[in-house]
Chain A
Amino acid sequence: QKEVEQDPGPLSVPEGAIVSLNCTYSNSAFQYFMWYRQYSRKGPELLMYTYSSGNKEDGRFTAQVDKSSKYISLFIRDSQPSDSATYLCAMSPNSNSGYALNFGKGTSLLVTP
């Protein structure tokens, strides 16, 4: 069993919809949770990171972590066609192990006008 599971999609939604992207994990040592966005033929870019459980909001994006369920989510409000990309979750047991990031497979999102 992979440590990080993520549904690859694709997920197709109309413009303006609320999008929910999710990952589950098995390693209870994970403390830091990140979401990266990757446009086609580009490298990923960091969207948000959260530490331990709770919510974090940044504009239209909200990251949510439920450590008791080993489940993290990224919500996108008022989705736009420019949000069409692959979204990867990533996790780490501590803040100083950049080499120890565990990535999900990525979920492909398409927002249609």
Chain B
Amino acid sequence: DGGITQSPKYLFRKEGQNVTLSCEQNLNHDAMYWYRQDPGQGLRLIYYSQIVNDFQKGDIAEGYSVSREKKESFPLTVTSAQKNPTAFYLCASSIGPAAIVYGYTFGSGTRLTVV
């Protein structure tokens, strides 16, 4: 079955550490996105990529970095510069930028906690 796989489901980070969240899709989607979800805040866009080897900052990119070396993969690194990283992180993909008609396909998320 096609879909998006995020790993790990739960991740604990010590202060000052960088951690990388994995996102893999086998839907042959061109566009991929990273969102952060906090209680009472809704979804906020961190980074997006519309094509391999290209990505753009979203609304809250500070303290995060991404790469898009393969169509299937869009890992997110949460750096030590991100002051409040505890959140639920969602990866999504869409058929090109036309996410309106076909919608995003979301992964099941990674819950990151700073300890």
Contact = CB atoms under 8 A, between A and B. Distances in A.
A50 to B, nearest CB: 10
Contacts of B4: 43
Contacts of A98: 31, 33, 48, 50, 94, 96-100, 104
B98 A96 contact: yes
A103 B108 contact: no
A49 B100 contact: yes
B61 to A, nearest CB: 12
B101 A43 contact: no
Nearest to A90: B43
Interface of A: 4, 6, 8, 32, 34, 36, 41-46, 49, 88, 92, 94-99, 101, 103-106
Interface of B: 4, 31, 33, 40-43, 45, 48, 50, 56, 58, 90, 92, 94, 96-104, 106-109, 111
